[in-house]
Chain A
Amino acid sequence: MAKISRDDVLKLARLAKLSLDDAEADELANDLGEILHYVEQLQSVNVSGLNPTDQVTGLTNVMREDQIEDYGYKPEDLLKNVPRVEDNHIKVRRVL
């Protein structure tokens, strides 16, 4: 069975901004290992000549004209969902 290490899980969690306790990390290592195992089985299928299915609608070239749209609300309405606002800016923990 495919193995995924605890360190791999912790790295993924860090990249996804998730905090895991020890028990959760172990459990996820196990679950993800099983998922990988399943994917390994899929890999035995011959898919040469097939395009990856990253789209299912069959659509192409969905485009809009280059116009300024009125979405029917004011930009400041969007800031109502923001936890902390200062001078019309979104206030976040210092990043530099």
Chain B
Amino acid sequence: MLDPKVRAKYKVSIGIECHVQLKTKSKLFSGSDNDARSAAPNTLVNHIDFGLPGALPVLNREAVRLASKMGFALNSRPQQFSKFDRKHYFYPDLPMGYQITQYDQPIIVGGSVDIEVDGKRKTIGITRAHLEADAGKSIHPAGKDYSLVDLNRAGTPLLEVVSEPDMHSPQDAKAYVRELYLLAKYSGASDANLYYGNMRFDVNVSVSTSDALGTRTETKNLNSFRSVEKAAEYEISRQIELLEKGERIVQETRGWDEAKQKTLSQRGKEEANDYRYMPDPDLPPLILDDEYVAKIESAMPMMPGEWRRRLESLGLSKDAIETLIDAEVEEGQVAYLSLIERLLKTPQAARQIANWQINVEVPLRRENKLEGNLKDEDRLNIYQTAYELFTSGKMNSNQTKDFLMLMMNQNSVPADIEAFATDKGLVQESDEGEIGKIVEEVLAEHAKVANDVKNGEIKAIGFLVGAVMKKSQGKANPQLAQKLIKIQLGL
């Protein structure tokens, strides 16, 4: 472990490049299926992906639309003019001998992402984001003298989002990649499924004792928020230790060893930074007119930042808000925010329902415990009914939770929800006559306690209320029970 005093001498700067896989049906420049998750090798390929002579790439319209949406999500807007270039290098997973990308005139220029770390808000600058085609995938069978290449992924549309070196700790880096994930999800640009490598991160780290940036290293191909944080942490310590020993940092590409939790030098690719970019003559430039851009802008869904502001206005805690923000776009979850949104005019109801979502529905869905297939409209109806029954005292908080669990498991909503809940024994008894009878019985059975209460030991009333609850099998409204006990004891 690095001495914190030594660590404090150094200013850390982190910049991140993130490849976001765009959610298209077909590839960026060809008509092969873009979903390679369960396909046999080299089955989602064509002459364009294989780089056969004479093959002509043609740009996918949907990829442009999704990249534009991501541009707005990054607090930017798509450029009026952008173009495509060839980046040359030789690798077996790149059959054309060059990658089609955008070099000096990318689709997105500038932008920002807001993050919050330890209660402090920070703005991370976005340098640019460009469209490019992914390469294929190589595997290296153990103990063999060959590698195997699958080109199913070759040509998959990526948007590479490049940040400024505005992050200064591993926690900043982690918060930034999580926010990028949310932006990709909320904008609809990507499935952003980390398990399937829909987002891959390259982390540039440098340390310096002055304001100038130090020599940086780039740790490539990280695929989780945690590995970004860990790799940054490791590089910071490694670089500071080297400098403390009087050694120098080598500018290089490194890989992350998940098992050893350390970065390792990847010397093989050192030669490769002379890419000889040139404009791709096969691809005419892209010009997005004001009308197109305005149309995308007006169709943008609400981004996490705006949702947070609305949820904060309800007085929800930060943790509660982030739970909802995450759950909204998780696999197997459902819409939460739009339900809350519709109740914003009655903030107390909105807040209560948000809390039930967080404490009941979200956890049940995370554990795959809900089988019902309700429409959002039905769920809203259930939440609103729960709120009415709860605030009118017909259900206590435990009953409301049981009610929600039961209702969310239905496939449709009964016409009379309250009658249904009563039938299931979930509505508390507020009939004074019924409860009055139970109170009478309880006072007779516990005459001594009743007497104590009557003689001023008012605390003991809790015991009597408990007895009434027990006798009514939890259905009595406790406030009403207490009131009736007092009346019957003449208090």
Contacts and interface: CB of A to CB of B under 8 A. Distances in A.
Interface of A: 11, 14-15, 17, 52, 54-57, 59-69, 71, 75-76, 78-79, 81, 84, 86-96
A75 B284 contact: no
Interface in B119-176: 138-140, 144-151
Contact of A66 (B62, B149, B279): B62
Contacts of A86: 146, 148
Contact of A57 (B149, B150, B284, B286): B284
B4 interface: no
A87 B22 CA distance: 29
Ranked 4 nearest A-B pairs via Cβ: A69-B31, A54-B279, A66-B62, A89-B148
Interface in B224-283: 268, 271, 274, 276, 278-279, 281, 283
Given A94-B147, A96-B140, 20 more contacts: A14-B271, A55-B284, A60-B285, A62-B58, A63-B59, A66-B24, A68-B26, A68-B31, A69-B32, A71-B46, A75-B43, A87-B41, A88-B150, A89-B150, A90-B149, A91-B147, A92-B138, A93-B147, A94-B145, A95-B92
Nearest to A93: B146
A95 B138 CA distance: 9
A89 B32 CA distance: 17
A75 B52 CA distance: 13
16 contacts: A55-B281, A55-B284, A56-B281, A57-B284, A62-B283, A62-B284, A66-B25, A66-B60, A68-B33, A69-B30, A69-B31, A78-B45, A79-B42, A92-B148, A93-B92, A95-B138
B60 A64 contact: yes
Contacts of B463: none
B88 interface: yes
Interface string B111-123: 0000000000000
B196 interface: no
Range of interface residues on B (Cβ < 8 Å): 35 or more
Nearest to A84: B146
A79 B151 CA distance: 11
B42 A61 contact: no
Given A15-B88, A55-B285, A61-B286, A75 B26 contact: no
A62 B59 contact: yes
Interface in B12-69: 24-26, 30-33, 40-47, 50, 52, 58-64
Contact of B40 (A55, A57, A88): A88
A27 to B, nearest CB: 21
A81 B26 CA distance: 24
B91 A95 contact: yes
A63 B42 contact: no
A95 B149 CA distance: 11
A90 B148 contact: yes
Contacts of A65: 61-62
Contacts of B276: 15
Nearest to A56: B281
Contacts of B279: 52, 54-55
A87 B140 contact: no
A90 B151 contact: yes
Contacts of B138: 92, 95-96
Contacts of A68: 25-26, 31-33
Nearest to A59: B284
B104 to A, nearest CB: 10
A75 B46 contact: yes
B417 interface: no
B57 to A, nearest CB: 10
